[in-house]
Structure 1
Amino acid sequence: MFVLITYDVNITSSHGEKRLRNAARACLNYGKRVQNSVFECILTEAQFVMLKNQLKNIIDSELDSIRFYILGKNWKRKVETLGKDMGFDFTGELII
């Protein structure tokens, strides 16, 4: 499934910058950053649960917020971009 993850981490609190870095690292393990606090991820159900649990353990639920937008399998029809497209086609060939 295609999931868009956005987060807002309060960096004015103690350890806020560390939580911000850790949230970004966790998301980078599963997808691609398309804006500062926005990630596009193609995940299995199990990966989605694992990532949500990791992020839940990173953030301070009193100060921070994470949103998951589950766009499903037909996500290409639901995503439009104006300006520079920072995303990439997860379904195409990947050459490493």
Structure 2
Amino acid sequence: MELLVTYDVETVTPEGAARLRRVAKICEGYGHRVQKSVFEVTCTAITRQQLEAALASTINAASDSIRIYRLDAGTFAAAQHLGAAPAAPHGGALIL
């Protein structure tokens, strides 16, 4: 399945800045960063559950927001890119 993960983490406190770094690291472990707070993820249903659990246990639900959009298969391949951002290698291995 293809997911688009976006997040907005409060960073006015040191704790918030630390959560932001942890959220980014979690997302980097599952997908490809395509913008500062946007990741494209190709995964299975089980991997999605693991991703959601890791994110949910990291954020402050009162001040942070994560949105996960499930996309139709092939959406990433059909995406149009404008500007300098290179296409993410969704078909290849994810190296951590």
TM range (shorter): 0.7 to 0.9
Shift of 1:87: 3.0
Which moves more between the two structures, 10-19 or 23-32?
10-19
In 1, are the aligned partners of 2:81 and 2:87 still within 8 Å (CA)?
no
Shift of 1:90: 1.3
Q: Deviations over 1:53-90 (max 9, x none)?
A: 1000000000000011111313133x222112333231
In 2, are the aligned partners of 1:19 and 1:59 still within 8 Å (CA)?
yes
Residue segments in structure 1 that go unaligned for 5+ positions in a row = none
Show the counterpart of 2:2.
2
* 4+ runs deviating over 2 angstroms: none
Residue segments in structure 2 that go unaligned for 5+ positions in a row = none
The alignment's C-alpha RMSD in Å is 1.7
Cα distance in 1 for residues equivalent to 2:50 and 2:3: 13
2:45 pairs with 1:45: yes
Q: Secondary structure at the match of 1:16?
A: helix
Cα distance in 1 for residues equivalent to 2:86 and 2:57: 28
Q: Deviations over 1:24-78 (max 9, x none)?
A: 010000111111111111010000010001000000000000011111313133x
Structure 2 length-normalised TM: 0.86
Show the counterpart of 2:27.
27
Which moves more between the two structures, 68-77 or 4-13?
68-77
